[in-house]
Amino acid sequence: MRRLALLMVLVMTGVACTSSAPAGSPTQTPPTPPTPIASPSPRGAPSASPSPEAAPAVPRFRARNALEVIEALVALGPRETTSVTYRRASALVAGRFEQLGYDVRFQDFDVPQGSVDGVAAPAGRTRNVVAEPPGFDPRAPHLVVGGHLDSVPDSPGANDNASGIGVMVELARLARGHPPRLPVVFVAFAAEERRRQTRTRSDTFLGALTYLAEQDRARARALRGMLNLDMVGNGDEVLVLGERGGPITAALLASARRLTIPARPTTISFGYSDHQAFVDAGIPVGWLWAGDHPSLHTPRDTIDVIQPVQLRRIGRVAWETLRTLRLS
């Protein structure tokens, strides 16, 4: 009996030893898996550090935006400079510039009675539309981009010159989003069409002359160049007018070459637009033109004359020039 009791004690003690650690022994925990060590990047592999932000894309000229402005102006009817229609057109253009964030003002002035392309035109008041970028300093170097807003009395003036105004408003949009090196003032000129049968400085380019008359000596020195947009809606090439070898002319032709857009210099009709007033003031100029069209100064100068592809050519050359131009 004593032997049986002793055997049972031994068996129970052995079971206890296999099921628990001895008293005072540390509790064992499962080992922690080793942290993986990253392998070194192969030579030449890109770094894992964040890359710098890409430069913002240069915005592109959109002919459809220019065309929409042209359509709105043509829908008003002929824009003889003293007419109610012209005043509505100037308000429309001013509103577009304001929507783009420009500081807009009007330059009001008198024009004489005359005969515009054989049609009697009364004396009266008219106005330029001037759009300046916010914070503009007129005594710091800058450019003027302009085009005339008026038409002859019996023409809706789609090509001459709602086309130039439409392209100008689109350039203003681009310049606000991607400011050029030289600040740009945009001007829709009144009273470009001559008011007598013989062209003299007293009856033509009156809007451009009024704008220049406002410039004091410091402002005149700061005005480094003028780009004119007149009759740019129909054609198959870009015509560049300006002083031979002048900086604006050269820049326009260089821009066309970079863009592989057909362009050539010409002197035909050189003095017959607003830029001539700037030439007379000793300011470098360039005139982007698409050539004459049979509808010129007739009721046939309607929206049907306008070719979006030509607006795009002219607009791209103008924008490339504005954003890259360097003048001392």
- Tell me the pLDDT tens digit for each residue of 62-107: 999 999 999 999 999 999 999 999 999 999 999 999 999 999 999 9
Taking alpha carbons only, the member of 171, 172, 147, 175 closest to residue 161 is: 147
For the chain, the structural domain boundaries read 63-324
pLDDT at 48 (0 to 100): 42
Rounded CA separation 232/167 (Å): 8
Rounded CA separation 276/270 (Å): 8
* Among the ranges given (107-121, 161-175, 191-205, 244-258), the one the predictor scored with the smallest mean pLDDT: 191-205
Rg of the chain in Å (alpha carbons): 37
Per-residue confidence at 196, pLDDT binned at 50, 70, 90? confident
Per-residue confidence at 172, pLDDT binned at 50, 70, 90? very high
pLDDT at 178 (0 to 100): 96
Classify domain 63-324 at the CATH class level.
Answer: alpha beta
* Among the ranges given (24-28, 88-92, 101-105, 206-210), the one the predictor scored with the smallest mean pLDDT: 24-28
pTM above 0.85, yes or no: no
pLDDT at 34 (0 to 100): 44
Check residue 196 and give left, alpha or beta (phi > 0: left; psi -120 to 50: alpha): beta
Residue 13 has pLDDT above 70, yes or no: no
Per-residue confidence at 8, pLDDT binned at 50, 70, 90? very low
Residues 6+ apart with CB under 8 A from 21: 27, 28
Chain mean pLDDT for the chain: 85
